[in-house]
Structure 1
Amino acid sequence: MNPIIAALQMNSGDDVARNLATAARLVGQAAEQGVSLAILPENFAFMGARERDKLAHAEADGAGPIQDALAQAAQRHRIWLVAGTVPLALADDPGRVAAACLVYDASGARAARYDKIHLFDVEVAGSGGAERYRESASIAPGRWNPVVVATPAGRLGLSVCYDLRFPELYRALAEREVDLLSVPAAFTARTGEAHWELLLRARAVENQCHVIAPGQFGGHPGGRSTWGHSMVVGPWGEVLACQAQGDAVVAAEVDRARATELRASFPVLRHRHLGAH
């Protein structure tokens, strides 16, 4: 049987307990649908009015209510769970946190950690200066370390949100023979409308991988608005499942045989010419 994967769409706010309850409910729904690998969006546990508000909820690596809730949900439902980002404290940088994407196996044990590399320090085009973000003020960038973890649905490469605009990360993951790419996100409504689907489908096509992309949707504290449209994209670039708005389990099958056949008959990754240097 083909495994079923899912992007879990949320509208997170500044109430951690409420956000964790929503996440647990969605994980339970995913398990009921036979999902073996579920992915929560970026900032699923907390989205405050200001970037630095997350510092109040930073946890030590391996201990804390957010991490405990994730491990318990994975174990209770016997599901592999990817936690979009969790704010983890940094001993050498107390004024910032790591935006850590954590993976839990079906026993509740942590299987992988990836710290978001590319930080969203931008003024959104077309906003007239009204939308400015500086994640680096509260988040320390992760070091270059492409992370791949073996899951029941296939080899999964980890990334987060703004990473999506940097194809070299995904090519590095593809070189590690991934089957799936995860992109938990909180894309702004304006950038999401313009680029979200376009970039997700491009990453799927150029790396011949399934892409699982859970997003935040709707309005959040501080006036931020996110795009939603969580989706699963197939390795030919086809959108296999998508939901524009609302809390949702966006699920699709991974057709392993078709993906293998595609890579054999259309061997893009073997046809690369990097040139002489």
Structure 2
Amino acid sequence: MTAPLRLALLQYPVERPESIAAFGAKLDRWLAEAKTGGADLAVLPEYACVELGAGLTGSNIADEAGELAAMVEAAPEILAEMRAAARRAGLWLLPGTLPVRDEDGLIRNRAPLIDPQGRVATQDKHAMTRFERERWGVSAGATPGVFRTPWGLIGISVCYDSEFPKHVRAQVEAGAWLILAPSCTDSMHGFNRVRVCAAARAVENQCFVAITPTVGIAPWSAALDENRGYAAVFGPIDRGFPEDGVLARGALDMPQWVFADLDPARIETVRREGAVFNYRDWPSRPFDAPPVKEPA
């Protein structure tokens, strides 16, 4: 039987580190808190490291093109700092995402999952928001996969990806019992889209789904100027779970860790003994085109 996981979700405060080393020191401070809290796996939000953009350009005003170019150029060094932080903390770490230039020359939004030895596996964001596609020129990445961990198979569906049932379903059908959905939302509309959809994915797949956002106001940053939301973990709405399906949640817009103890055995049990069988009863094939009907 796979052991329970103590998950730590960081409501990440957007600041202005002036160097990659300063960003690494910030990671160290926050990860030390997660370690003290007993975390096994720490999760940061989508684009958390993009707070570096202004410092890397040296600009005091938001500069979309300049910040993106600086982040992409520095991506290998930023990833190296993330890996070193995971090793120093002795934690599994999902440090959010970072924009990278792929081998085909396109920019992608990539989430690295790092083990305590600093080894890395990655998941690209697949569905692009309008900002990413139209203003940053970020392209869709690889199709969804799953990650082998000491706690079983886990999926990563970055922010907007979690709003698409088939993206998460592919990961669940591949064996994921937990979906991590790091997010970056600049309004309550955006945050609530992610929140509501994450809760829906947990119900329809009888699995756990965890979200965590960037928080704070940063007028010097083109991409992270406004950041809203809170971290939460959602589960099935069934026997043995909270009546609203919310296992943990943080305070709105406040920098903090949110912890949750998650046992994959609970997912196995609810799929076998629940009041409903959402996971099992998912349609095995798409429905035929619905007929158009008229009263007669």
TM-score normalized by the length of structure 2: 0.79
Confirm or deny: 8 A CA contact 2:133 2:139 kept in the other structure.
no
Please name the residue that 1:127 is paired with.
none
Q: Which residue is equivalent to 1:3?
A: 5
1:67 aligns with 2:79: yes
Instruction: Please say if residues 5 and 38 of structure 1, whose CA atoms lie closer than 8 Å, have aligned partners that are also in contact.
Output: yes
Matched position secondary structure for 2:195: helix
Q: Report the CA distance shift for 1:219/1:39 in structure 2 as closer, same or farther (over 3 A).
A: same
Give the letter aligned to residue 242 of structure 1: R
Equivalent residue runs for 1:128-277 within 5 Å: 133-192=131-190, 194-220=192-218, 221-222=221-222, 224-236=225-237, 238-243=245-250, 244-266=252-274, 267-273=277-283, 274=285
- Cα deviation, 1:136-195, whole Å, max 9, x if unaligned, reads 442432344212001223311011111122111001111101011011111122324543
Question: Superposed, which structure 2 residues align to 1:56-95 within 5 Å?
Answer: 56-59=70-73, 63-64=76-77, 66-93=78-105
Instruction: Work out the CA distance in 1 between the residues paired with 2:50 and 2:172.
Output: 31
Give the partner amino acid of 2:143: N
Q: Which moved more, 1:147-156 or 1:164-173?
A: 147-156
SS of residue paired to 1:235: coil
The DSSP-based 3-state class of the residue aligned with 2:248 is strand
The separation in 2 between residues aligned to 1:32 and 1:259, in whole angstroms, is: 27
Residue type of the alignment partner of 1:107: Q
Asked if 2 retains the 8 angstrom alpha-carbon contact of 1:215 and 1:229, the reply is yes
In structure 1, give the amino acid aligned to 2:245: E
- CA contact under 8 A between 2:146 and 2:154: conserved in structure 1? yes
| TM-score (structure 1 length as normaliser) | 0.84
Between Structure 1 and Structure 2, whose CA radius of gyration is higher?
A: 2
Q: Note the aligned Cα RMSD (angstroms).
A: 2.3
Tell me the amino acid that sits aligned with residue 224 of structure 1: D
SS in 1 for 2:169: helix
CA contact (8 A) 1:51 1:135 kept: no
How far off its partner does 1:250 sit? 0.9
- For structure 2, which runs of at least 5 residues remain unmatched after alignment? 54-61, 238-243, 289-296
Aligned counterpart for 1:106 among listed residues 116, 132, 153: 116
- Secondary structure in 1 matching 2:50: coil
Q: Provide the residue aligned with 1:40 in structure 2.
A: 44
Question: 2 CA distance for matches of 1:239 and 1:192?
Answer: 19
Contact kept in structure 2, 1:14 and 1:46, CA below 8 Å:
no
Q: Is the 8 A contact 2:6 2:40 kept in 1?
A: yes
Could you report, residue by residue, the CA deviation over 1:73-123 in whole angstroms, capped at 9, with x for unpaired residues?
Answer: 211222111121112123433xx522110011111111x1111111110xx
- The residue type equivalent to 2:263 in the other structure is D
Counterpart position of 1:126: none
